[in-house]
Amino acid sequence: MRQKTVTVKSAPLWRGGQVLIVMPVRVTTVRQIQKLDKIAIEKYGVPSLALMENAGRSIAYEVLKQVKKIKRPRICIICGLGHNAGDGLVAARHLINAGAKVNIFLIGKGSHLRRDAAVNYQILKRLKYPVKEIRKADGSVLKDITRADITVDAIFGVGLNRDILDPFRGIIEAVNRKAQKVIAVDIPSGLDGTTGKIYGTCIKADTTVTFSLIKKGFLIAQGPKYVGKLIVADIGIPMVLKREIS
């Protein structure tokens, strides 16, 4: 795998300072990052729920860092129905615990979530934290996006490989129009992590907190226009795997 020198910020898993680093970093394709996760989970026994918990915690950490001067920040988290949604739901839980005012939107039905995302959805339900199911960017959704200090994009992850249609398209475009600031979970929704192609529309993030390794698509084609500030978060993938992945 080729290396490329870029400037990124390294996000700690636990609280602590963030350090600006300039160094050769590993750049990965979507296929490679999916293989990395699969090996970590299936061969080495790293629990997928632990990886999701760490990912969501990393998102919450960055949100709190950016709103630290606001007494009770308003956060809007918009989730799709895939794995990325689970990261957003974990982040919501940590942000609520930290005292933020959090509005959680799910594009579709909670019953359609699967595996780890479904587990975290059920945790929020048991804690009686409301998750609002939506089908379009109506007045209530637009109001919450507009009022939020930060909107978190947890709609699509790196697995997206098709053009985005409504209701997702309309909601993404509403976020781009109305949000004060956007943090993307792993990748801006609508961006191809390998090619930098846009699938019809794309979240324009102010910050992207990506997990484990930088995706090739962030650096080429339309990628640089959409990722904003790039932060690489360690979510617990063994370092030996990051060095060996190909």
Exposed / middle / buried, residue 118 (Cβ in 10 Å: 0-12, 13-18, 19+):
middle
Q: So what's the pLDDT on residue 26?
A: 75
Task: Please choose, from the candidates 219, 106, 212, the residue with its C-alpha nearest in 3D space to the C-alpha of residue 167.
Answer: 106
Q: What's the pLDDT at 245?
A: 67
Q: Which residues of the chain have pLDDT under 50?
A: 1-24
Output the six-digit token pair for 165.
Answer: 């249609």
pLDDT at position 241 is 80
| CA-based nearest residue to 63, from 50, 71, 53, 73 | 73
Percent of the chain scoring above 70 in pLDDT:
89
Of 205, 145, 140, which Cα lies nearest the Cα of 174? 145
Could you list the residue range(s) of the whole structural domain that residue 164 is in?
3-244
Can you tell me the distance from the alpha carbon of 217 to that of 227, in angstroms, rounded to the nearest whole number? Answer: 10
In Å, how far from its chain's centre is CA 236?
16
DSSP string, 61-79: HHHHHHTTTSSS-EEEEEE
What confidence score (pLDDT) does residue 242 get? 72
**CA 16 to each of CA 10, 13, 44, 62, 143: distance values in angstroms, whole numbers, following the listed order:** 11, 9, 28, 11, 34
What is the count of structural domains for the chain? 1
The CA distance from 201 to 172, in Å, is: 7
Strands 3-11 and 19-28: antiparallel
CATH number for the domain including 12?
Answer: 3.40.50.10260
Please report the pLDDT score of residue 20 as a whole number. 34
Q: Which pTM does this prediction carry?
A: 0.88
Query: Taking the chain, what is the end-to-end CA distance rounded to the nearest angstrom?
Result: 6
